[in-house]
Amino acid sequence: MTVTEQVGGPVGVFVTGTGTEVGKTVVAAVIAHALAAGGLDVAVFKPCVTGLDELPADGLADHELLRRASGSDQTDAEIAPYRYGPPASPHLAAAMAGEEIDPERLRAAAGAAGDGAGALVCEGVGGLLVPLAPGYLVRDLAVDLGYPLAIAAVPRLGTINHTLLTIEAARAAGLEVALVVLTPWPDQPTAIEASNRETIASLGSVDVQTLPQLDLDAPATWPRLSWGR
Ligand SMILES: Nc1ncnc2c1ncn2[C@@H]1O[C@H](COP(=O)(O)OP(=O)(O)OP(=O)(O)O)[C@@H](O)[C@H]1O
Ligand SMILES: [Mg+2]
């Protein structure tokens, strides 16, 4: 399937990853930018952003990076309905703020973000089994939204296990894994990195693509990720 072949509602993708800090925002930004460059009105969505207290002075939060890449004019709350200061798991960050993330509010916010847009690019939080609320994982939200997954992963040693575990957790819940993206992919991959790519593709029966080191401030220079299989 390609994103443009999906029917019913906006085309979309749910970008997850093998964990935290593995390139989800970069992959989501590249996809969002490419869809927007192709003429679609792109909306972005991130159920929960944490760690706002620890952003460097000149740093952008995930929802801000996604908005910039997509050219969307959504507000912070429209992109990320729950935003917290501590760099904690969403369920804990919410508890520290004296509240609980409401799955129904997330579904409604994602639906509202996609309404009227030509495409919706969602970024998860951490990996698939991160709790958003007691009894409601990121994976449950991905199932509720129903979009195919793009899985961000690192190229280095250890990635085979983490990536195959993520693929297995996704498929066990009936999610479609559209592609894995290894990022940042070096100009001259080592034998281990090259083997990691081939091994994930073959053991995971999945399309594995790569993103080189990007200048994140220059979206016009970003490559496109293709979804063909
Ligand atoms: N292709 C790339 N080019 C440049 N930088 C990259 C690339 N891939 C990953 N990075 C860098 O790796 C780090 C982690 O990437 P990113 O923020 O996208 O991860 P994440 O999975 O979204 O993290 P989080 O769990 O905090 O949401 C960032 O500093 C990002 O800029
Ligand atoms: Mg991110």
Tell me, what amino acid is at 136? Y
Q: Kindly state whether residue 139 falls inside one of the protein's structural domains.
A: yes
How close is the Cα of 36 to the center of ligand 1, in Å? 21
Q: Kindly state whether residue 67 falls inside one of the protein's structural domains.
A: yes
Judge whether 74 and 81 are in contact, CB under 8 Å: no
Q: Kindly state whether residue 2 falls inside one of the protein's structural domains.
A: no
Among the bound ligands, the one closest to the CA of 211: 1
pTM, entire model: 0.96
How close is the Cα of 171 to the center of ligand 2, in Å? 22
Q: Kindly state whether residue 229 falls inside one of the protein's structural domains.
A: no
Q: Kindly state whether residue 1 falls inside one of the protein's structural domains.
A: no
- Chain segment 17-66, per-residue pLDDT in tens: 999 999 999 999 999 999 999 999 999 999 999 999 999 988 999 999 99
Active site residues: 46
- Chain segment 121-159, per-residue pLDDT in tens: 999 999 999 999 999 999 999 999 999 999 999 999 999
The CATH number that applies at residue 109 is: 3.40.50.300
Q: Mean pLDDT in the chain?
A: 94
Residue 171's domain comprises 7-221
How close is the Cα of 152 to the center of ligand 1, in Å? 9
Q: Kindly state whether residue 228 falls inside one of the protein's structural domains.
A: no
Question: Is the pLDDT assigned to residue 15 strictly greater than 80?
Answer: yes
Mutate to test the pocket of ligand 1, among 26, 132, 193, 216 (most ligand atoms within 8 A of CB): 26
Task: Pick the atom of ligand 1 nearest to 62's CA.
Answer: 27
What is the per-residue pLDDT for 9? 62
Report which protein residue has its CA nearest ligand 1's atom 12: 23
Tell me the CA distances in angstroms from 227 to 47, 59, 139, 162, 170, one per residue in order.
24, 30, 21, 22, 18
Q: How confident is the model at residue 222 (pLDDT cuts 50, 70, 90)?
A: very high
Mutate to test the pocket of ligand 1, among 18, 20, 25, 162 (most ligand atoms within 8 A of CB): 25
Burial class of residue 19 (count of CB atoms within 10 Å of its CB; 0-12, 13-18, 19+):
middle
Task: Pick the atom of ligand 1 nearest to 22's CA.
Answer: 21
Give the chain's domain count: 1
